[in-house]
């Protein structure tokens, strides 16, 4: 699996679970992706 594929599946999993002590970068990245998809 590519690096990008791994990251996007991590983001998908994160959306389904409450935000934990993961890196803030991933939270921002997932919000950014949501924003892009919505627009």
Beta-carbon-side half-sphere exposure of residue 10 (alpha carbons within 13 Å) = 14
pLDDT score, position 3: 76
- Give yes or no for a contact between 11 and 33, defined as CB atoms under 8 angstroms apart: yes
pLDDT digits (tens, 9 = 90+) for 1-39: 577 777 777 667 666 555 556 678 888 888 888 888 876
Q: Identify the pLDDT of residue 31.
A: 86
CA distance 17 to 4: 20
How far apart, in whole angstroms, are the C-alpha atoms of residue 36 and residue 39?
Answer: 5
Q: Which residue's entry shows tokens 């594929």?
A: 5
Q: What is the pLDDT of residue 27?
A: 81
- What does the pLDDT read at residue 35? 85
Element (H, E) at 31: helix 24-38
């Amino acid at each position: 699996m590519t690096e990008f594929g791994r990251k996007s599946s991590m983001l998908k999993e994160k959306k389904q679970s409450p935000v934990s002590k993961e890196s803030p970068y991933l939270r921002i990245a997932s919000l950014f992706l949501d924003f892009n998809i919505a627009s």
